[in-house]
Amino acid sequence: MDITGIESVVAGVADLAEARRFFEIYGLAETEAEANKARFEATDGSSVVLRQLDHSSLPPADQGVQLAIWGVAGEAELERVAAELGRDRPVTRDADGMVTSHDDDGHGIAFRVTKRRPFAARKVGLNVAGLPPGRINTRADFDDHGPACGMGHIVYWSPDPERSNRFYVERLGFRTTDRFEGNGGVFSRAVGHKEHHSIFFLGRPGQPPAFQHLEFGFPDVQDVIAGGHKLLKAGFVSRMGPGRHEAGSNWFWYFDSPLGGAVELSADIDIVDDDWVPKVWASMRDAAGWHTSFLPERSRP
């Protein structure tokens, strides 16, 4: 299955205005703005669709991420996915041809011919020792970050990550790239997506499956630091970071988000192909790498 990666999520939010404020500062561009709906997108067209929930009839299950939309390489691949899923679960088609179903944990999933578009990379002004300067007589600008380049991965809590991951590997052809011992978590990537992971199931025994976080890639670590700093100044809550993972190598900073889990700023994640050698990490702590907890007294005013 030539699945090209996750490229959109649809989420219900209790406070659309606050959710708009979050994603604007985070580094996405608002492309649709209605009274009860908003759409934000990254440079490559990957998107977050927000729907204002009706408080008077608000089942908890409708809050947060409701649907993860995956791109596929073409119409033939879309038909293959629809046929595969139709073997054992309901599949619906909308007017645009999008195929909607659910995974083995009950998470809403959908597939469409990819709408991701190529884009020109922004110049990164890094001074690397031994190479010609990338930035001369110019300071790093803490107001300069983003926009986000594209959605990279989604992460779910799972009471049984190996079981949750098996659906994506066995039914959708994903490749597992790393895992934690003792069924603590599993990373996998869609075949047409070359980043370290497109999806990650993080173990949480005895608890129901749930959305954990969503990640967008930015051009470089400057965006992670400056973007995170802007979110802090705007009053949003840092959950972890800034730091750098060992599993995936990416720079990261996680913030509580209106999606019912965290949203991650990320840069410089490992690019892999089928020559990648998966590793079994002892634990989440073992793979988390270096990170600092945010210390409020050290932030700029």
What residue ranges bind Fe ion (CB under 5 A)?
A: 215, 264
15's CB contacts (< 8 A; 6+ apart) are 258
Q: Map tokens 């922004």 to a residue.
A: 122
Contact status, residue 1 vs residue 167, Cβ threshold 8 Å: no
Contact status, residue 253 vs residue 238, Cβ threshold 8 Å: yes
* Tokens (6 digits) for 179: 């895992």
96's CB contacts (< 8 A; 6+ apart) are 112
**Between 25 and 263, whose beta carbon lies closer to Fe ion?**
263
**Minimum distance, C-beta of residue 212 to Fe ion, in the bound complex (Å):** 9
**Between 44 and 215, whose beta carbon lies closer to Fe ion?**
215
**Minimum distance, C-beta of residue 240 to Fe ion, in the bound complex (Å):** 10
Sheet of strand 92-93, all strands in order from the earlier edge strand to the far edge: 29-33, 37-41, 47-52, 3-13, 64-72, 108-113, 99-102, 92-93
**Between 195 and 215, whose beta carbon lies closer to Fe ion?**
215
**Minimum distance, C-beta of residue 252 to Fe ion, in the bound complex (Å):** 6
**Minimum distance, C-beta of residue 264 to Fe ion, in the bound complex (Å):** 5
**Between 13 and 263, whose beta carbon lies closer to Fe ion?**
263
User: What Rg value do the Cα atoms of the chain yield, rounded?
Assistant: 19
**Between 145 and 213, whose beta carbon lies closer to Fe ion?**
213
**Minimum distance, C-beta of residue 301 to Fe ion, in the bound complex (Å):** 30
Contact status, residue 167 vs residue 103, Cβ threshold 8 Å: yes
**Minimum distance, C-beta of residue 248 to Fe ion, in the bound complex (Å):** 7
**Between 100 and 165, whose beta carbon lies closer to Fe ion?**
165
C-alpha distances (whole Å) from 55 to each of 52, 114, 157, 190 are 9, 34, 26, 36
